[in-house]
Amino acid sequence: MTLLLPGSFHKTSICSGPKSDGAPPMTVITTAIDMHRTIAQWRAAGDHICLVPTMGSIHAGHLALIARARQLGSRTIVSIYVNPTQFAAGEDFDSYPRNFAADQDAIDAAGGVDAIYAPAVMYSDTHATSIVPAGVAAPMEGISRPHFFTGVATIVFKLFQHVPADTAIFGEKDFQQFAVLRQMVDDLELPVTVLAHPTIREPDGLALSSRNAYLSPSQRQLAPVLYQTLRHTAANILAGAPIASCLDNATQRILAAGFDKIDYLDLRDPEELAVSSTAHPDHRLFVAAWLGTTRLIDNCALGADQP
């Protein structure tokens, strides 16, 4: 059964963005009640509905998720909402890139979607309930940013109530986040299927991220070392080198290249995210490292093909 959040139903707003190619305009929906009405109409027509959740600042990685959603469903929705509860004090909530018109243009140029869901707020002034995940949320980001997954799980749970889609698609760059959301959907028996899409990268291997815009030109040149080191380390582990020494060498390589700090560099299994001592092709290397004030995360399966 889908839960409805009455506090989110106090306003009504649907508008359409212009399109120049003669195709129907994309609908921009800003309230849950209108989103539910729209989805009810689509579902009555037998449509399969796919959701791509974003915080805006649309780039090619998001567009790949949207393209996959269009393949999987007959209706595609992109949500755009910068979620304040996943930012701690002193993090980049205020400076996080926001340009809704540019996001619309990027989505439109890539073929468009059936609707953009862009609520102004998703928390009432009296909001007091949160989803607090454990399990796969505990290591890595759970240690470095202990507030983060509560904010993510809560907003995605709310989003699934506002946008009761059949399928939601997330990127593998945030693999631990996907694992947390997969666990939440399973544990709470939510009526949505969550899927992961492979990370989209620049030609030099840097994972696409909205926060890449924070990098200076010199930092941008250095940033691909992170993924290059993961691939080098994966090859050594698969070749039989001791895992602990491979991880130590990778740490030294990243720091020697000019990164300022590493929050974690781990090899873990993809289901429970337990530390792995096995060179299994499906097990993944995870890293979070700082270039100046910019924190970059990445991961890859040991046996993944290089781009």
| Longest distance between any two alpha carbons in the chain, whole Å | 60
Q: Per the structure block, which two tokens stand in for 114?
A: 């059936």
Q: Has 48 been annotated as catalytic? A: no
Question: Which residue has tokens 């097990």?
Answer: 283
Let me know: does 285 contact 234? Beta carbons within 8 Å: yes
CA–CA distances in Å: residue 154 to residues 126, 132, 182 = 15, 8, 13
Comparing CA positions, the residue from 260, 258, 263 lying closest to residue 218 is: 258
Let me know: does 82 contact 55? Beta carbons within 8 Å: yes
3-state secondary structure of 75: strand
Rounded CA-CA distance 127/177 in Å is 23
Q: Which of 36, 62, 162, 283 is catalytic?
A: 62
* Residue 198 DSSP one-character state: P
- Provide long-range contacts, Cβ within 8 A and 24+ apart, for 33-37: 33/8, 33/9, 35/77, 35/115, 35/117, 35/162, 35/163, 36/4, 36/162, 36/164
- Three-state secondary structure string covering 10-70: CCCCEEECCCCCCCCCCEEECCHHHHHHHHHHHHHCCCCEEEEEECCCCCHHHHHHHHHHH
Catalytic positions, written as ranges: 62
